[in-house]
Chains A and B, each alone.
Chain A
Amino acid sequence: MNKYIMKRNILLYMVLLATAFFACQKLDLEPKGILGQPELFGNEFGVKKYFTSIYDYLPIEDFNYYGNNNPDGGNAFRPDNYWQAGKNSLGNCSGEFFNTWQGVNNVGFGYWPYDRIRDLNVFLRDFPTYEGEFTSTVYNALVGEARFLRAFFYFGLAKRYGGVPIITSVQNPTAPRDSLEVPRNTEYDTWKFIYTDLQFAIDNMRTSSEFGRANKYVAAALMSRAMLYAGSVAKYTTYMNYGSERAYAGGFAGIDPSKANEFFQYAVDAGKVIEAGPYQLYTKNYPDKALNFANIFLDPGSTENIFVKDFDATAPRNTRLQHNYDAMMSPQPDMVSEVGTESYPPFDFMELYDMPTYTNPDGTPVRFTNRSDIKTDMEPRMKGTMYFDGDVLRGKTFSIQKGIYMTYTGTAADAQAGSNGAPINSGTNRLLGARGATTVINGVTMNITGTHGHFSFNADGENNGWGAAFVRKYINPGMTIAEAKLWNSTTPWIVFRLGEIYLNTAEALYELGKRNEAFDYIEKLRIRAGCKVPRPAIDASTSNIGSINKANYPYQIEKSLQFIRDERVRELYGENHWWWDIRRWRTADQILNNFRHRMLSAYYVANEGKYIYLDEVNRNNRSWTANKTCFYEPIPGGEIGKNTKLLPNNPLY
């Protein structure tokens, strides 16, 4: 009797146990780690969080940007292996920097950021639902911010492809295929669309914002740059003889030259908006104009900064908010503890600045007592942009020498740009060597090469000072050598600064025929740069020969306009502008026409105990060549495969 009760009870317990704990195991689990639109769009912090990811994907060509198709995965803006950006940078791909890895490659990387454009279109569609949660000022400013961000992506597209499909709605991916195949808009419409978005942003955004975030002036700065690009495209594409190209004929690549002034005027107008803002050229470190120029890029409180992207070593790796610039631009191990130099400034760019005399009028090399004497008489801005022999970084002094001449009789030209075949360069007269190579001259042991280059027999350009300079712009001397390592740089990237806006305005004004007004801006920059002639006289005579590589432009250009273009190179060296500039000027194929970098090489002349500097061809004899396809990237092939309405493809593809 008892037995049965007991067993029944045990059974009961088991059933109870099972039921209590498990029988109704819920399958409708509350998803963890997911936010919905009400949380994100319903208050300002949520919107900021939503925009955070958009900002991170903005096409900002910063320290990590790969100029080339990124072989290591990710896209060029967010490369997976972004320390490699040191050798794959836009500067290295376009000849602005020198190293041995990259050639010009304009196939692009299939930039097609419509996913982020969709995010913004989703915001613009759904945000009105939450309008009641905000004051109208804040609401309008946030809508303006979204349109600024959208314009930034379209700018990234337009400067690569010309006309692209303008998508302003949120398409349903499962909608009929046909409705999803959107054709290209014309290049004119694309730039005008950017203009409309930005004008809305300028009209609605607030005049100030926290560091790192866009406001009215940031929108105006993008407007200034974008409209200058559009104006140049309109004005110069006609010289490309694309006549028979369907993309050109259809207006997808190229703009009617008559529209050029419309865009130049927009650029000027945008510049005026910024001038009304709180920005001033940075002069904090006067009277040391070289230091002042270098500090523009290091002082986060610079009065010149309009929009800045910050980096930090503690950022999670995948956000790409760390960078390695310091580790990759200075010699290792003396000044940095990892990697070492990957890029060097070529002489072709150096000679655009006020350079000291290194060749006498009779053609013989000037004799310097010290190698560092080359800096006497040098434009302060140049010294702020590059490091030379004798400069000190992180407690170590740059030492840059290529070799020793036992004797040097004759002119600089006798060295035949460094050719091994020149008699004066015979192995017994000119001594070259590897790192640390020494020789004994008159009983004294002498280093053949400088501690930091440049060396022979180094298979590549890594960590070997090619030429006479290292890059100084954006290098943070405040780090210790040990800190100067991979993923440890914190210097912010300046996306827009007043200096560029002045140059944009000056160029647009000059293109509009307002020559003197243009030079008002040039003068301001040249005073800050410490140039010998702050305001050169207007020279409206024309030529079709450019400065770098004596390029043969397809059109005539007033010499003062060329001067403004050169001023842009001087002021913005190493800031990832040059490639886009020579593209929009439609001169890239001529400038990078077998462009063989030159280097300025320091030698010790043993019998005199003096130093000379010679203008030499880069030792590897490397040359950069871009052809006429470089002005537009091809529409990504995969996209054409999915939507043939994207045809015609850009000229020459």
Chain B
Amino acid sequence: MQNYLSDDLAKINHMSKINYLLLLLFLIPVSLFAQTTQVRGVVRDSASGNPLSGVSVELRGPQGKLAQTITNVNGEYNFQSATTATVIAFSYTGMGTVEENINGRNDISIILAPSAVNLGDVVVVGYTSQRKETLTGAISTIKGTDMQRTRTENTLNMLTGKMPGVRVVQKSARPGAYDATIDIRGMGAGNPPTPPLFVIDGVVRDKDYFARMSSDEIETVTILKDGSAAVYGLRAGNGVVLVTTKTGKAQGGKVDITYNASYGIQQYLYVPQSVNTQDYMTLRNESNWQDFNGNYLVRRSAVFTDAQMGPYKDGTKRSYNWMDEVFNKDAPTYSSNLSVSGGSDKIRYYFNLDYQKQIGSYKSGDLKSERWAMRSNVDAQITKRLKARVQVGAILLNRQEPNGTGWPTYKATWLLRPDAPFYANDNPAYPNGNTDQLGSDGNNMIIQTNADYVGLNVTREKRYNGTLRLEYEVPRIKGLSIKGLYDYAMSLPDYNNYHRAYSLFSFNQAANTYNTIPRATPSTVEKGSNMSYDRTFQGGLYYQNSFERHNVNASVVYEATYNQFDGFSAYREILVASQYLFAGEDNRQRANGQTPSDRASRSMIGSVVYDFDRKYLLDFKFRYDGSSRFPDGKRFGFFPTVSAGWRLSEEPFIRKNLDFISELKLRGSYGEVGDDGSAGNYPPTIGYNLNPNEVGWYFGNPPVLNGGVTPSAIPNPNLTWYRIKHYDAAIDFGFLNNKITGTIEVFRRDRSGILATSAAVIPGTVGANLPQENLNNDRNFGYELSAAYRSKYRDLSFYVMGQISATKYMRTDWLETPAGNSLDKWRNRTANRYQNIWWGNESGGMFTSYDQIRNFNLPVGQGTLPGDWYLSDWNGDGVINGNDEHPIATMGLPVFNYGFSIGGVWRNFDVALDWQGAHGVYVQYAEVLTEALPFNGQNTLSWFMDRWHTEDPNADYFNPNTKWIGGYYPATAHDGRRSGSNGIMNASYIRLKTAELGYTFNNTKLLSSAGIKEFRVYVSGYNLLTFTPLEGVDPERPGSAGGASTNYIDFYNDPITRTYTVGLRLKF
């Protein structure tokens, strides 16, 4: 073996020398055959004006392709013999294809402009790549550079509003949280959401990996939305996001070094403020007096007397604005990126190093995250027929936050009373901890957000992956190659949560002493790690050839994957001054192990893509999958996809008669996909799970905790894949030489055999659930429209593009307890019905006077006051109750999502605006956001001042002669617009997601002398403008229900930011 290897290496050396020789030989003909008709020129990039190397240039005659070349480092190309050529076509990844009629010219230079969607692009689709024009599936593509117009820490957010059918909602801008959801055509948008499959350079990763990637390393992102996703099988049922990273270009050994740096200011959007002391006291008094029962017969005295309020009114006492003291209004973010790329025809490389830092809103500065991303892609031509590619990627994330902070931080700060001093006796050495003032939790949020007091939680995520690919062109059979890939990836996050005991103080006025209030004792440390290891192998035969006008692209691939999960954590109390586990106490220490698990899959993937003359297109693909998660015998599934297309624009009758049509394609697809995502890790077996974290008991003296077991569910030997059927039909068009392009698309996805447990229908006395069965069916359907217009006018090239999509979801056949009657069926059953319906009472109007209350035709509550809402008696039965509930809004993610982009380049300036919007989305907020003086009269938000109240603050609320002043909210402590349709707010919005203005310095002598090839500076804004009917709250902030909410408390998330970024890009 060793001998063979060294032999091979010797031969490789030998080969390279031969290749140099060949290279020299190739150069000779340039002069020898120069006398024939020649076409040459230079290709330049529209943005920088610099020459573009690696552009594919094709000479075409009436019979088709005549010759092909690529541009050199100086962007030059040269065809010696072009006598029969009529058309020359330039194509470059990400810039599409531009065709020019030669018309006898010898010098054809051209400027290529970047484009978001272009019909001529090459698209990576499921193990191979295809030309966009011959695609038959529902596929959208975006280039990395178009994503990067949106400057934000989360790569996922860069897709927002730019691709039809893709919904991205940012739920929080908390540093290091990467808290955004994505779904494709509403698929998997349940609760919790199941994101689409993320495939990065051919290997399955996950949403979190993508969110943390460096956007600079992304060449393109392709979204597979229909049956074409099927080739990714397994968990591809919710669509696939394919990411291709950059590759070095053969540019004669020259190196490009690119450096990007930016600095941004994040402003926190829509952060409500709490009221000051005077307002607080006013509201507390109002809430005291609105309570009919508490004031019945003998009226309560005021909570705060005029004497107490006076000093705040006249300014002798000050209010404490906790929000300003705990949070900054803005915080910086930095990023810088260095990439090196280059190569020769033998070896090409791309290295990228990316650093990003985001500071959070806490004034202490202790909330922040840092992210490093590294990638190295090296392509080597080992022999003439053998190519290798090595890709190494690493993403490191370091996130830190003060212990105990998170979702409750904004909540707790809003609730802090304005008369509670920050510091006991206003002495900064003694942070206030007086529970009489701070509320029963006693949290002083200034201290609570300061890691010096409460300790620091540090989470380090580490993701590594390495991929080796080999590609071998089989000799003698033209177009046949063998490709193999092996990938090993691991994720090794670890965390160290240091919970620190600290002291707060209360001031004893009489004794002039400070009482110590110990908090959070004892200090503890918890440290742990959850690791996962994944490996993927792919190997297959690929065949691509053309026979006259028949083009065939076929492949058969074998794929095997193995994933392994494990984890553990350890906990100790810590009494010495340390924050590390080693220094902890043995007493009460504990260790936990996560239940280990693994999974495997084996698949055969086949694909035949055929077209005749690029006119009639037919694809057949299949996948034969086996998953270790299903029982033997039910393990394998076969999932075929067929799609077809017809490019009418290639037909002579269109070409001749309707020459404004440059592209017109009808296409449709039908595909089946399997999904094992909801199955357990292992096929169901009879057994018991060790479940020490769920069940246990103390036995013995001293008592020792025994972990318990829980019986596994009764196995169903017939458990298998659920099946997904995708249907898709579309028209792609391009007019006026593809100046206008667009797509109209309709889709439907039917899932059958979704796992369900029919526990609801067997008596509970059996004591066991029925096994999970493949029972339920559902459907997603909708449409997408997208259109773009690109043109040029003198020095100005510009584009306008837009897209809109709509999606709905219904349960077609759903296992549920049969309805008892037709009302029950209408109200409570879900089968065969649109989902995402919001049921509720309709709010009628506000009572404006006692008279109206007295004469109201329906029963009203005893303590009803002017300003109170009444619900409408929808069914007219004379009472308002649950029977009046009916659909009042849509629930969940927006029905309509749209975006439009405008941009252009004029001389050295470039500008881009990306608007994004959602329509048909409703949210409901709760607690602090909807309730005045929540949680037993703690502080409240300032918008509750706009409420119904009596003209005379001391008036009797229940005296019919009392004069009232109207407001938006009912009287304090009455239902603050929380029930009925009142509580449900329209969160539709349109926002200027991104605006960017750039200036590229000309290729001047000064720059060249410094070795600078490209120099661009830009200013950019994120979330600059928002238009929404929602008041006071960011429309993307999740609600307690509705919108992107997956959790009742999501609405306390860190606010979303508006970011202003300045940056530069230098290329050497």
Q: Which residues of A23-58 have CB atoms within 8 Å of chain B's CB atoms?
A: 23, 25-29, 31-37, 40, 48-50, 52-57
B521: nearest chain-A partner, CB-CB = A482
Measured between beta carbons, the chain B residues less than 8 angstroms from A211 are 698-701, 703
Shortest distance from the beta carbon of A444 to any chain B beta carbon, whole Å:
12
- Say yes or no for B766: interface residue by CB 8 A criterion: yes
Q: How many residues in B have their beta carbons less than 8 Å from beta carbons of A?
A: 100
Contact B692 A316 (CB under 8 A): yes
B682: nearest chain-A partner, CB-CB = A31
- Say yes or no for B628: interface residue by CB 8 A criterion: yes
Contact B470 A56 (CB under 8 A): no
Measured between beta carbons, the chain B residues less than 8 angstroms from A421 are 297-298
Q: Which residues of A297-335 have CB atoms within 8 Å of chain B's CB atoms?
A: 300, 309-319, 321, 332-333
**Complex: A310 Cα to B506 Cα, angstroms:** 36
Measured between beta carbons, the chain B residues less than 8 angstroms from A625 are none
- Say yes or no for B598: interface residue by CB 8 A criterion: yes
Measured between beta carbons, the chain B residues less than 8 angstroms from A314 are 571, 588, 590, 705
Measured between beta carbons, the chain A residues less than 8 angstroms from B691 are 53
Shortest distance from the beta carbon of A170 to any chain B beta carbon, whole Å:
8
Contact A118 B602 (CB under 8 A): no
B761: nearest chain-A partner, CB-CB = A642
**Complex: A463 Cα to B436 Cα, angstroms:** 10
Q: Which residues of A630-645 have CB atoms within 8 Å of chain B's CB atoms?
A: 636, 638-639, 641-643
Measured between beta carbons, the chain B residues less than 8 angstroms from A181 are 763
- Say yes or no for A359: interface residue by CB 8 A criterion: no
- Say yes or no for A420: interface residue by CB 8 A criterion: yes
Measured between beta carbons, the chain A residues less than 8 angstroms from B562 are 25
Given known pairs A29-B628, A56-B697, the reply for A180 and B763 (CB within 8 Å) is yes
Given known pairs A27-B602, A32-B597, A52-B709, the reply for A312 and B698 (CB within 8 Å) is yes
Shortest distance from the beta carbon of A421 to any chain B beta carbon, whole Å:
6
**Complex: A179 Cα to B685 Cα, angstroms:** 25
**Complex: A327 Cα to B519 Cα, angstroms:** 13
- Say yes or no for A540: interface residue by CB 8 A criterion: no
Given known pairs A31-B682, A32-B595, the reply for A25 and B765 (CB within 8 Å) is no
Measured between beta carbons, the chain A residues less than 8 angstroms from B475 are 7
What does the 1/0 interface line of A600-643 toward B look like (CB < 8 Å)?
Answer: 00000000000000000000000000000000000010110111
Contact B696 A52 (CB under 8 A): yes
- Say yes or no for A362: interface residue by CB 8 A criterion: no
Given known pairs A9-B4, A210-B701, A211-B701, the reply for A177 and B482 (CB within 8 Å) is no
Contact B482 A11 (CB under 8 A): yes
Q: Which residues of B674-718 have CB atoms within 8 Å of chain A's CB atoms?
A: 681-682, 685-701, 703, 705-712, 714
Shortest distance from the beta carbon of A375 to any chain B beta carbon, whole Å:
27
Given known pairs A10-B386, A27-B601, A173-B770, the reply for A2 and B11 (CB within 8 Å) is yes
Q: Which residues of A482-532 have CB atoms within 8 Å of chain B's CB atoms?
A: 482-483, 485, 492
Contact A35 B687 (CB under 8 A): yes
Shortest distance from the beta carbon of B411 to any chain A beta carbon, whole Å:
16
Contact A315 B705 (CB under 8 A): yes
- Say yes or no for B177: interface residue by CB 8 A criterion: no
Residue of A27, A167, A174 with highest tally of chain B CB at under 10 A: A27
**Complex: A312 Cα to B571 Cα, angstroms:** 15
Contact A173 B768 (CB under 8 A): yes
Task: Identify which of A18, A210, A480 contacts B699 (C-beta below 8 A).
Answer: A210
- Say yes or no for A114: interface residue by CB 8 A criterion: yes
**Complex: A480 Cα to B519 Cα, angstroms:** 11
**Complex: A118 Cα to B762 Cα, angstroms:** 14
Measured between beta carbons, the chain A residues less than 8 angstroms from B632 are 27-28
Measured between beta carbons, the chain A residues less than 8 angstroms from B8 are 6, 9-10
- Say yes or no for A365: interface residue by CB 8 A criterion: no
Q: Which residues of B570-628 have CB atoms within 8 Å of chain A's CB atoms?
A: 571, 588, 590, 592, 595-602, 626-628
Q: Which residues of A155-180 have CB atoms within 8 Å of chain B's CB atoms?
A: 165, 167, 171, 173-174, 177, 180
Measured between beta carbons, the chain A residues less than 8 angstroms from B708 are 49-50, 52-56
Measured between beta carbons, the chain A residues less than 8 angstroms from B596 are 32-33
**Complex: A445 Cα to B511 Cα, angstroms:** 13
Measured between beta carbons, the chain B residues less than 8 angstroms from A22 are 537, 539, 560
A636: nearest chain-B partner, CB-CB = B764
Measured between beta carbons, the chain A residues less than 8 angstroms from B595 are 32-33
Given known pairs A421-B297, A639-B764, A642-B762, the reply for A119 and B560 (CB within 8 Å) is no
Shortest distance from the beta carbon of B18 to any chain A beta carbon, whole Å:
11
Shortest distance from the beta carbon of A644 to any chain B beta carbon, whole Å:
10
- Say yes or no for A112: interface residue by CB 8 A criterion: yes
Contact B11 A6 (CB under 8 A): yes
What does the 1/0 interface line of B466-492 toward A look like (CB < 8 Å)?
Answer: 000010100100000010101000000
- Say yes or no for A61: interface residue by CB 8 A criterion: no
Measured between beta carbons, the chain B residues less than 8 angstroms from A117 are 767
Measured between beta carbons, the chain A residues less than 8 angstroms from B681 are 31
- Say yes or no for A533: interface residue by CB 8 A criterion: no
**Complex: A211 Cα to B704 Cα, angstroms:** 10
Shortest distance from the beta carbon of A1 to any chain B beta carbon, whole Å:
12
Given known pairs A33-B689, A313-B588, the reply for A56 and B700 (CB within 8 Å) is no
Shortest distance from the beta carbon of A422 to any chain B beta carbon, whole Å:
11
Task: Identify which of A53, A311, A463, A480 contacts B695 (C-beta below 8 A).
Answer: A53
Measured between beta carbons, the chain B residues less than 8 angstroms from A481 are 518
- Say yes or no for A14: interface residue by CB 8 A criterion: yes
Shortest distance from the beta carbon of A552 to any chain B beta carbon, whole Å:
27
- Say yes or no for A460: interface residue by CB 8 A criterion: yes
A28: nearest chain-B partner, CB-CB = B632
Contact A35 B765 (CB under 8 A): no
Contact A34 B436 (CB under 8 A): no
Contact B682 A333 (CB under 8 A): no
**Complex: A57 Cα to B761 Cα, angstroms:** 24
Shortest distance from the beta carbon of B684 to any chain A beta carbon, whole Å:
10
Measured between beta carbons, the chain B residues less than 8 angstroms from A9 are 4, 8
Contact B435 A333 (CB under 8 A): yes
**Complex: A558 Cα to B659 Cα, angstroms:** 109
- Say yes or no for A337: interface residue by CB 8 A criterion: yes
- Say yes or no for A435: interface residue by CB 8 A criterion: yes
Contact A53 B436 (CB under 8 A): no
Given known pairs A31-B682, A421-B298, the reply for A483 and B436 (CB within 8 Å) is no
**Complex: A410 Cα to B56 Cα, angstroms:** 108
Contact A212 B703 (CB under 8 A): yes
Contact A14 B472 (CB under 8 A): yes
**Complex: A2 Cα to B698 Cα, angstroms:** 74
Residue of A116, A311, A482, A643 with highest tally of chain B CB at under 10 A: A482
- Say yes or no for B1063: interface residue by CB 8 A criterion: no
Shortest distance from the beta carbon of A541 to any chain B beta carbon, whole Å:
42
Shortest distance from the beta carbon of A187 to any chain B beta carbon, whole Å:
17
- Say yes or no for A395: interface residue by CB 8 A criterion: no
Measured between beta carbons, the chain A residues less than 8 angstroms from B383 are 6-7, 10
Measured between beta carbons, the chain B residues less than 8 angstroms from A316 are 592, 692-694, 696
Measured between beta carbons, the chain B residues less than 8 angstroms from A459 are 936-937
Task: Identify which of A40, A167, A332 contacts B709 (C-beta below 8 A).
Answer: A40
**Complex: A460 Cα to B291 Cα, angstroms:** 13
- Say yes or no for B340: interface residue by CB 8 A criterion: no
What does the 1/0 interface line of A408-451 toward B look like (CB < 8 Å)?
Answer: 00000000000011000001000000011000000001000000
* Nearest 9 pairs of A and B residues by beta carbon: A118-B767, A53-B708, A310-B698, A482-B521, A52-B708, A114-B767, A33-B595, A25-B560, A643-B763
Enumerate chain A interface residues (CB-CB to B < 8 A): 2-3, 6-7, 9-11, 14, 17-18, 21-23, 25-29, 31-37, 40, 48-50, 52-57, 112, 114-119, 121-122, 165, 167, 171, 173-174, 177, 180-182, 210-213, 300, 309-319, 321, 332-333, 337-340, 420-421, 427, 435-436, 445, 457, 459-460, 462-463, 480-483, 485, 492, 636, 638-639, 641-643
Q: A34-B687, A171-B767 are in contact. List 14 more A-B contacts (CB 8 A).
A: A3-B11, A9-B4, A18-B537, A32-B682, A33-B689, A35-B709, A49-B709, A181-B763, A182-B765, A211-B698, A316-B694, A480-B521, A641-B817, A642-B760
Sample of 8 A–B contacts (CB below 8 Å)? A18-B537, A31-B685, A174-B714, A182-B765, A311-B698, A318-B693, A641-B817, A642-B763
